[in-house]
Structure 1
Amino acid sequence: MSTALLLEKWDLQCKRNNKDHRTSDTGSQRLLVRRGQSFLVTLHFSGRTFKKEVDKLTFHVKTGPRPIQTSGTSSSFPLSSSLKKAKWSSAVEGQDGSSMTILIFPPPDARIGRYRLTLEVSTEGQGSSCDLGEFILFFNPWSKDDTVYMESEEARVEYVLTQHGQIYQGSKDFFLGIPWIFGQFEEGIVDICLQLLDTNPKFLLNQDKDCSRRNSPVYVSRVVSAMVNCNDDNGILYGRWDNQYEDGMSPLSWNGSVDILRRWEKFGCQPVRYGQCWVFAAVACTVLRCLGIPTRVVTNFESAHDTNSNLIIERYMDQNGKRQPGSRDSIWNYHCWVESWMGRPDLAAGYDGWQALDPTPQEKSEGVFCCGPAPVKAIKEGDLHVKYDVPFVFAEVNADVVNFVLQDDMSWKKTTYTSLVGMKISTKSVGSDTREDITHHYKYPEGSREERAVFAKALHRKDPAPAKGGLKVRIKASEGINNGCDFKVFAVLVNNTAEEHRCRLRFGTHVISYNGALGPEISFKDLRNITLEPYAKRTVPLRILYEKYGHCLTQDNMIKVTALLTDLGTQEVVLGIRSIYIKNPDIKIRVLGEPMQKRKLVAELTLTNPLPTPLTGCVFTVEGAGLTDGQKVQEIESPIGPGEEAKVRVDFVPRRSGLRKLVVDFESDKLKGVKGYQDVIIAPPPKWSRP
C-alpha cells in the first residue's frame, strides 16, 4: 500500500498569471484571471512524487455565499490528461520531482466574481483537503468563446485596459474633451466593484439566483446600470442638477472615478454627492472595464428626453421664444451614456456588438431606474420591440421636435423639426485623444429616405416630412468666446422666396444648464418691423456683456440664444436656437524631473485669471492612475487678481511605468470645473548590473 501523498506548499503564481491574463496593473499580491483562459498553480508534495496510478487530485471552485453545482456557482473536477474547453477542468503542465505545475481552465461561460479554490488529495482511500486560496474571475474579451470577445487587439486595450479617457461636453457647435481617470486597476477598485454586485437588490433578494446569472454580461451590465445611481438602492451616486452642491462635490469637480468609488465604500455604501450624466457614465465605464466588459463613454449632442414614449419632443414657448410649462419633454445640450461590447444570445440574430447602457436616472425600466443594454443596431433600424429600452434611446437620438409658439391672439402656432435631435454622437478614438464621430452607428443621415423610413417604422405609420418654409433663421457666434469677455451673437435671417416679407424678430439670450433648464435672461432685442427683400439675407447682432452673464452663469458655462421670426403677413413662425459654450482658461502643466517609476516628480500648474474681478478660494486637484496614489490637493490662500497667475507645485511618485495621464482640476469662487491634462511617459526603474 502506498503512503499518502502530502501537500507541503503551493504557489498560485500570481505574478505570472496576472501578466498572462492582463490584470498585472492591479499588482501581483493575489490572483486575478479571466475566464476561457487557463492559469497555473504549482504544487509541492513532501515524502514522494505524485503517481497517477494511485493518487487522485480533485479541485473544487466555489463562488457566492451559497455555492450550488446546479446554479453554476460550484464545480468539482479531477486532474485529467487534457483540458476540457467547455467546463472547469485541470491538467498537468509539467512535473519536476515532487513538484507539479497544474493548468486550471475556467470555462468561457463561468460566473465572474470571487472564488475559493480547494484541492482534495486521495491515495487508495486515504485523503486530505487543502484550501489553496482565493482568486477573482473576470470576463475575457481575448477569448473567442466569451460573449464579450473583441477581434481587435487595439480595441481590447482601449476599452478594457486603458485607465484614462476623454468625455465630450459643450454643444454641437463647440465641443471639448474633458479628461477622466477611470482607474479600474487602482488599489481597492476591484473589491469595490465586486461589492457593488453584492449590494444590488437582486442579490439581496435571492443570492443564489443573482450569482448564477453573473455569467451573462447582459445581466451584469444591467445591474451596474441600476447600481451606479442610488434611486432604487444603495447605489454609488446621487444625481443633482440645480447647481446647489454645498453639501457635496460639484459634478464638474471630479477628475475620475476612483475617489467616487472609494468614498462610496468608505462611508458604508452611502450615495456620493453629486453626479450628472457624464459622471454616472464614467463610473459605469470604470466598473464594467474592471469586470472585463469592453466599454466606452458616448456623448450625444442635442439629446432628447422623451417622457411619454411618443418619439416627439413637445415644447411650448411664449411670444418671445421663452419656454413655458406644458410638457416634461426636454432636449439636453448633451447627454452621456456608455456602450458595452457583447453578444446577445437572448435575442434573435443580428443584435450583437455595441450595446447602449445609461446609468443616469431618467425613466424607469422594469420598475427600476436603469437603461439597457440596448443594441445600437436595433436603435439604428427602429426595432423598438428589442430589449432593453430601445424606444427610450431611439428617442434620444431620433425624436422629432414640435414647437408650439404662443401668438398675440393667444392661439398656438405649431412647427415641426425633424433634424434637431441626435447630433455629432462622439466617443474617444482608439489609441488617441481625438474624437470619433459614431452618429452613423445610431441613425441614417438626417433627412434621408432611410432615416424617415426608420422613424415611420418606429411609429408604425407613414411620417411625411414637414413642409419647407420660405424663411430661415440660424444663429452665428463670434470667434473666441472666452469667460470674462464680451462677445456678439448674430441672427441670420434668410428669405428664400421671390416675394418681400415684413417680419418681427424677437432675439434674446438666457443662461442655461446643460440639461436644458433655463436661467435668468441676459439680453433681449425686439425688432417689430424688419423687411426681408426677395432672396435676401440679413444679419442682426446682439452684444453679450460679461457684466450681465458673469454673476449668473452656471458651472456648465452655457448661454442659450433664441431668435423667433414671425412673418407679419402669413403669421408663419420660424425659430432659431443655439447653445453657446463659454470657454474657460487653459491650465498650463509642466512636469519637472526625470519621469521614472518610484522617483519623485513635480508638476507645476499655472492658470491666468481671465476675469475682471479677483478669484478667491483657488484650489488645484491633481490625479493620475499609476501616478499619484489618489488625489493631490493644493490650495492658494491669497486672492488672484485680474490677469494674475495662480501657480502651485505638486509632488508625486509614479508607481507604474508606461504612458500615464496627469489630470488637473481648478476650482475657485468664480471659475469652476476648469480641466487640464498632460501625458507622461514613465520609464521603468533601471536594472543595475553588478560585477
Structure 2
Amino acid sequence: MAQALDIDRWNLECEFNNTDHRTDLNGIDRLIVRRGQPFTISLYLRSGIYQPGDSSLDCVAETGPQPSEQYGTRASFGLSANIDTSRWSATVTSPPGDMVALSVCSAPDAPIGHYTLTLGRSGRIEFVLLFNPWCPGDAVYMDNEQNLAEYVLSQDGIIFRGSYKHPISTPWNFGQFESGILDICLRILDMNPKCLKNPGKDCSGRRNPIYVSRVLSAMVNCNDDKGVLLGKWTDGYEGGVSPMFWRGSVEILRNWDTQACQPVRYGQCWVFAAVACSISRALGIPCRVVTNYHSAHDSNSDLVIERYINENGEPIQSREMIWNYHCWVENWMTRPDLKSDFNGWQASDPTPQEKSEGVYCCGPIPVRAIKEGELVFKYDAPFVFAEVNADVITIMKKKDGNTSKVTSTAVVGQKISTKSVDSDAREDITHLYKYPEGSDEEREAFKKANHQNKLLQQQENEGLHITIKVSSEMRKGCDFDVFAVVTNNTQREKKCRLVFGSCAMSYNGFLGKNCGFKDLLNVELSPGEGELWNACSLRV
C-alpha cells in the first residue's frame, strides 16, 4: 500500500511560477497561475522520503463558496507518472528524498478565480487561476505573441474619439496589473446578480469566457446591479467626475471597491469600454477597445434608424439616433456553441443602451457574424449589426399632416477603429464588420439579415437624390460652406421645396440649436438633371 506523504511545510515558488505564467506584473508575493499550464511547488516532508511508486498524495482543488464536482468547481486527483494538461493532474519531478518538487496542472477549462489546493492531510495552499491565452487547450488561446503582448499584457493604450473626419487619439491607462486590481476584478464577478442568486452555478460558469464576458458587459454599468459605473450624457457632473477627465481605469476600479460597490460617477461609452478592457485583460481574456464612427442606436431591432424633423429641419424627439462615435470592446475566444467560422473576435458593449434577456448588457457576438448578416447567433446580433450597418430614414412631418422621407444607406458604420499592435496608430477594421457598400457580398449579408429595406433601396433608383458636400479641407475654428447636390432621376420634370437646416451635435447624437437655415420654395429640375446649391456657411 502506498505511503501518504507527510508534509511539514512548502514553498509556492511564486517568483518562478508567476514569471513562467506571465503574471509576475501582478507581483510575486502570492501564487497567480494560468489554467492548462503546470506550476511547481516545493514540499518539505516532516518524516519519511518520497519514493516513486511507493508514495501517494491526495490533491483537491476547490473554488467558490460551494465547491462541487458536479459543477466542476471541485477536482480530486492524485500523483501520476506524467502531467496531463487536459485535466487536473500532478506529478513529482524531483529524485527520491525529503524535498519533493510537485508539478501541478489545472484543466484548461477550469473555472477561473480564487482556489484552495489541499495536499494530503496537512497542506492547504491558496492561489488564483486565470484564463490562459498561451495555452492551445484554452478557449481564449491566441497564437500570436505580438498580439498577446498588446491585447493581454499592455497596460497602456489609445482610444479613438472625435469625429469621422477628425479622429482623436485619447491615451488610456488600463492598469490591469496595478496593485489590488486583480482582486477587484474577481470581486466584480462575485457581486454580479447571477452569483448572488446561485454562487455554485455562477462559479461553474467562469470556466467559459463567453459567460464571463457577458457578465462583465452587465457589471461595468450599474443599471441592474452593483456595477462599476454610472452613465451620464447631459451637462452637470456634480457629485462625481466628468467622463472627459478620466484617463485610466485604476482609479475608477479602486473607487468602486473602497465605496462598498457603489457606482462611480460618471461614465460614457469610451469609459465603459476601457474599464471592460482592463477587467478582461486582468482575467486573461485578450481584449481591445473599438470605436465605430457614425454609430446607430436602433431601439426596436428593425435595422432602420428613423429620425423625425419638422419643415424647418428641427429634430423631433426620438429614441433612435446616430452617435458621432461609439465605443465597445472585442474579446478573443472560440465559440463552441457556434460553427468554427465564428471563433475569434467577439463584440461586447458594456454601455447601457438596450436590455438583453432583461439586463442592460450586449454580446458577445462574433464580429464575423455581423459581417455575414448571421443575426440568429447569440448574443444581440441585430443590435450590433444596426450599429454598423443600419439604414437611416429621415422623415419630415409637414404642417398639413403629410410626411416625406429621405433614405441613406451608407451613413452608418464608418472608420471602425482600434489601436494598432506595437504602435499608437489607428488601425481601420471596418472590413471585419462589413463588406464594401454595394458589393455582391454586402447584398448577400443583407439577405441573411432579412434587411429587405436595404435590398429594396438598391432596386429603386428613381426619385430625387440629395447629397451633402463639404470641403475636404474643413478645419475647426474656420468658416466653411455646405453644399447640396440634388439630382432628378425620374423621366419627368420635378418641382420641389428644399429645406436646409444645420445644428450642433454632441458625440452621442443629441442635437442642439440651429446654426444655419435656408428654405428654397420653388426648385425646378428637368429629368436627369442635377444641381448644386450652397446650403449655408458654418463654423466648427
Match of 2:27 in 1: 27
Paired with 1:2 and 1:425, the residues of 2 have a C-alpha distance of 62
Match of 1:262 in 2: 254
Match of 1:481 in 2: 475
Quick check: 1:8 aligned with 2:3?
no
Paired with 2:410 and 2:475, the residues of 1 have a C-alpha distance of 26
Q: Give 1:164's match in structure 2, choosing from 140, 156, 180.
A: 156
Counterparts in 2 of 1:478 and 1:156: CA distance versus 1, 3 Å: closer
Counterparts in 2 of 1:539 and 1:525: CA distance versus 1, 3 Å: closer
Quick check: 1:70 aligned with 2:65?
no
The 5 Å alignment of 1:65-144 reads 65-95=65-95, 97-120=97-120, 128-131=121-124, 133-144=125-136
Counterparts in 2 of 1:403 and 1:2: CA distance versus 1, 3 Å: closer
The 10-residue stretch of structure 1 (53-62 or 230-239) with the greater mean CA deviation from structure 2:
53-62
| DSSP-derived class of the 1:45 partner | strand
Match of 1:282 in 2: 274
The 5 Å alignment of 1:501-512 reads 505-512=498-505
Match of 2:329 in 1: 338
Match of 1:687 in 2: none
Paired with 2:83 and 2:5, the residues of 1 have a C-alpha distance of 23
Paired with 1:298 and 1:168, the residues of 2 have a C-alpha distance of 8
Q: Give 1:389's match in structure 2, choosing from 369, 380, 392.
A: 380
Match of 2:449 in 1: 458
Match of 2:426 in 1: 435
Contact 1:418/1:447, CA 8 A, preserved across alignment: no
Q: CA offsets per residue over residues 567-624 of structure 1, 9 Å max, x none?
A: xxxxxxxxxxxxxxx6xxxxxxxxxxxxxxxxxxxxxxxxxxxxxxxxxxxxxxxxxx
Contact 1:304/1:331, CA 8 A, preserved across alignment: yes
Match of 2:295 in 1: 303
The 10-residue stretch of structure 1 (531-540 or 248-257) with the greater mean CA deviation from structure 2:
531-540
Match of 1:322 in 2: 314
Unpaired runs of at least 5, structure 1: 121-127, 545-581, 583-691
Contact 1:478/1:489, CA 8 A, preserved across alignment: no
Paired with 2:5 and 2:17, the residues of 1 have a C-alpha distance of 26
Contact 2:470/2:483, CA 8 A, preserved across alignment: yes
Q: Give 1:350's match in structure 2, choosing from 319, 324, 341.
A: 341
Contact 2:301/2:383, CA 8 A, preserved across alignment: yes
Counterparts in 2 of 1:385 and 1:138: CA distance versus 1, 3 Å: same
Paired with 2:271 and 2:5, the residues of 1 have a C-alpha distance of 55
Q: How far did 1:494 drift? A: 5.5
| DSSP-derived class of the 1:95 partner | coil
The 10-residue stretch of structure 1 (503-512 or 237-246) with the greater mean CA deviation from structure 2:
503-512
Aligned length: 534
The 5 Å alignment of 1:532-551 reads 537-544=532-539
Q: Which has the higher helix share?
A: 2
Q: How far did 1:447 drift? A: 2.0
Q: CA offsets per residue over residues 290-316 of structure 1, 9 Å max, x none?
A: 111111111111111111111111111
Paired with 1:146 and 1:305, the residues of 2 have a C-alpha distance of 34
Match of 1:359 in 2: 350
Counterparts in 2 of 1:404 and 1:461: CA distance versus 1, 3 Å: closer
Paired with 2:392 and 2:486, the residues of 1 have a C-alpha distance of 21
Q: Tell me which amino acid in the other structure corresponds to 2:335.
A: R
Counterparts in 2 of 1:213 and 1:535: CA distance versus 1, 3 Å: closer
Contact 1:378/1:386, CA 8 A, preserved across alignment: yes
Quick check: 1:218 aligned with 2:206?
no
Counterparts in 2 of 1:543 and 1:334: CA distance versus 1, 3 Å: closer
Quick check: 1:401 aligned with 2:396?
no
Q: Tell me which amino acid in the other structure corresponds to 2:479.
A: F
Paired with 2:161 and 2:74, the residues of 1 have a C-alpha distance of 46
Q: How far did 1:525 drift? A: 4.1
Q: CA offsets per residue over residues 57-101 of structure 1, 9 Å max, x none?
A: 222211101111221111121122111222111111223742221
Contact 2:73/2:204, CA 8 A, preserved across alignment: yes
Paired with 1:3 and 1:398, the residues of 2 have a C-alpha distance of 67
CA RMSD of aligned residues (A): 2.5
Match of 2:371 in 1: 380
Counterparts in 2 of 1:408 and 1:477: CA distance versus 1, 3 Å: farther
| DSSP-derived class of the 1:397 partner | helix
Unpaired runs of at least 5, structure 2: none
| DSSP-derived class of the 1:226 partner | helix
Q: How far did 1:54 drift? A: 4.0
Paired with 1:4 and 1:514, the residues of 2 have a C-alpha distance of 66
Q: How far did 1:532 drift? A: 8.0
Quick check: 1:413 aligned with 2:404?
yes
Contact 1:257/1:282, CA 8 A, preserved across alignment: yes
**TM-score, normalization: structure 1?**
0.73
| DSSP-derived class of the 1:70 partner | coil
Paired with 1:53 and 1:383, the residues of 2 have a C-alpha distance of 55
Counterparts in 2 of 1:4 and 1:211: CA distance versus 1, 3 Å: closer
Counterparts in 2 of 1:480 and 1:419: CA distance versus 1, 3 Å: closer
Q: Indicate the structure whose relative CO is greater, using CA pairs within 8 Å and at least 6 residues apart.
A: 2
Contact 2:86/2:137, CA 8 A, preserved across alignment: no
